[in-house]
């Protein structure tokens, strides 16, 4: 527990760093027009088809075909305050009913009680506190996936999970970024049989340019905590707190005006405190990666993952030492080699962006190849109302 508190302390220091907004999978923020005064209608959405061909004991394959549509009315005074109101509608082709849960995760379990469609409200208040500092309350657009590396956040959350709701603080400057957030996933009433659930996180990175060279250094750090508990429950239920944290180093080489090559390495940890929901308390992971990116449009990533007793709270089960197929299966060590490629097409002055991606993962211990392919077409037209 002392190690966990030490990591929290380090992350707290990074939290004061002075985040721009683009998502790896959901490019909506990159095509949003800048806030302008007055009232307007924004129809933000994307149509997607994502196929995960996963095999073996670690995770089963699934396909996500559908769309998410978030129409909203936006008002801004073009100074400090922006208000948004609307709905977020998630639909899968061929789905005739949806699990009736209070909050969707990456892909919720089926329930006998179902609804014909899945629509949740969208309400956001965004306040610019200072130059480079923005506070968001209500529904949240995760800033650059909260700056999290792939093992800590599954990019498919944009295709399956409900929008995050709570509060978020973004800060950025020429030398650093920070993103702090609370996502409230489960609200409970007095004497509720459920437990409240929320996730909180803090991500930051320092960016240091090396004078008179084509190199720069990035120092990232991340912390995620999930709480399951509550004080107004109908019965006494153990409280569960789980944590992920990571720190690393990145070296960026600007080969040309358009080509960037980056070598990054992360050390990660897992810790749980409470009712021991998984059969281990502490774990770790190592994640080096090599990334080549062209003009922020196309990229190729080669990475390696080694983990022991590790569970990613917001990440894919590919990086977990606990099986999602059978909760009694625990992998002593996870060694995985991954190759990922992506391409984004966003014509100038057009309110849409096409994202195409493919990835192959070789599970060395299981001697199993997994792969995924998908595409998402994002659109975000704006209409001035007054």
User: Is a pLDDT exceeding 70 seen at residue 229?
Assistant: yes
User: Is a pLDDT exceeding 80 seen at residue 13?
Assistant: no
Report pLDDT for 106. 66
Taking alpha carbons only, the member of 328, 24, 254 closest to residue 152 is: 24
- Rg (C-alpha) for the chain, rounded Å, is 21
DSSP state of 371: E
> Average of pLDDT values for 172-196?
87
User: Is a pLDDT exceeding 70 seen at residue 130?
Assistant: yes
Taking alpha carbons only, the member of 44, 40, 50 closest to residue 31 is: 44
Report residue 100: phi and psi, to 5°.
Answer: -95, 70
pLDDT-wise least confident of 32-46, 209-223, 279-293, 331-345: 32-46
Q: How far apart are CA 307 and CA 151, in angstroms?
A: 10
Confidence at 386, pLDDT banded by 50, 70, 90:
confident
pLDDT over 70, % of the chain? 87
Confidence at 27, pLDDT banded by 50, 70, 90:
very low
Domain that holds residue 90: 2-384
H or E segment to which residue 101 belongs: none
Confidence at 6, pLDDT banded by 50, 70, 90:
very low
Q: Mean pLDDT, the chain, as a whole number?
A: 86
Write down the residue that tokens 């993952």 correspond to.
305
The CATH number of whichever domain residue 219 belongs to comes to 2.40.160
CB–CB of 338/303 below 8 Å?
A: yes
244-274 pLDDT tens trace: 999 999 999 999 999 999 999 999 999 998 7
Q: How far apart are CA 142 and CA 158, in angstroms?
A: 10
312-347 pLDDT tens trace: 999 999 999 999 888 789 999 999 999 999 999 998
Provide the domain count of the chain.
1
> Average of pLDDT values for 84-102?
88
> Average of pLDDT values for 184-208?
88
User: Is a pLDDT exceeding 90 seen at residue 236?
Assistant: no
H or E segment to which residue 145 belongs: none
pLDDT over 90, % of the chain? 63
Q: How far apart are CA 54 and CA 368, in angstroms?
A: 9
94 against 349, higher pLDDT: 94
Two tokens at 206? 């320092």
Taking alpha carbons only, the member of 341, 348, 344 closest to residue 377 is: 344
């Amino acid at each position: 527990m002392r190690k966990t508190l030490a990591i929290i302390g380090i992350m707290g220091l990074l939290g004061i760093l002075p985040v721009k907004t683009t998502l790896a999978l959901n490019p909506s923020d990159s095509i949003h027009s800048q806030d302008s005064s007055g009232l307007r209608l924004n129809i933000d959405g994307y149509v997607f088809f994502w196929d995960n061909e996963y095999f073996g004991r670690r995770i089963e394959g699934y396909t996500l075909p559908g769309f998410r549509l978030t129409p909203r009315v936006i008002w801004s005074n073009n100074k400090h305050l922006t208000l948004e109101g609307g709905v977020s509608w998630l639909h899968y082709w061929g789905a005739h009913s949806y699990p009736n849960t209070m909050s969707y995760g990456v892909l919720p379990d089926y329930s006998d009680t179902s609804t014909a469609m899945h629509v949740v409200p969208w309400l956001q208040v965004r306040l610019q506190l200072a130059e480079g500092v923005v506070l968001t309350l209500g529904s949240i657009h995760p800033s650059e996936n909260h700056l999290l590396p792939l093992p800590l956040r599954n990019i498919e959350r944009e295709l399956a999970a409900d929008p995050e709701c709570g509060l978020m603080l973004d800060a950025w400057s020429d030398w650093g970024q920070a993103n702090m957030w609370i996502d409230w996933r489960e609200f409970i009433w007095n004497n509720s049989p459920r437990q409240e659930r929320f996730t909180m996180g803090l991500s930051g990175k320092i960016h240091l340019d090396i004078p008179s060279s084509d190199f720069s250094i990035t120092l990232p750090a991340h912390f995620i905590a999930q709480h399951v508990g509550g004080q107004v429950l109908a019965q006494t239920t153990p409280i569960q707190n789980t944590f992920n944290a990571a720190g690393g180093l990145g070296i960026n080489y600007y080969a040309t005006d358009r080509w960037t090559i980056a070598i990054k390495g992360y050390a990660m940890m897992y810790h749980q405190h409470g009712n021991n929901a998984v059969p281990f308390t502490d774990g770790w992971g190592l994640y080096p990666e090599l990334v080549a990116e062209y003009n922020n449009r196309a990229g190729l990533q080669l990475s390696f993952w080694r983990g022991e007793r590790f569970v990613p709270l917001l990440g894919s089960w590919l990086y977990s030492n606990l099986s999602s197929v059978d909760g009694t299966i625990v992998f002593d060590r996870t060694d995985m080699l991954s190759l990922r490629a992506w391409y984004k097409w966003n014509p100038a002055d057009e309110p849409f962006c096409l994202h195409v991606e493919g990835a192959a993962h070789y599970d060395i211990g299981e001697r199993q190849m997994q792969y995924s392919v998908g595409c998402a077409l994002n659109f975000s037209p704006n209409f001035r109302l007054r």
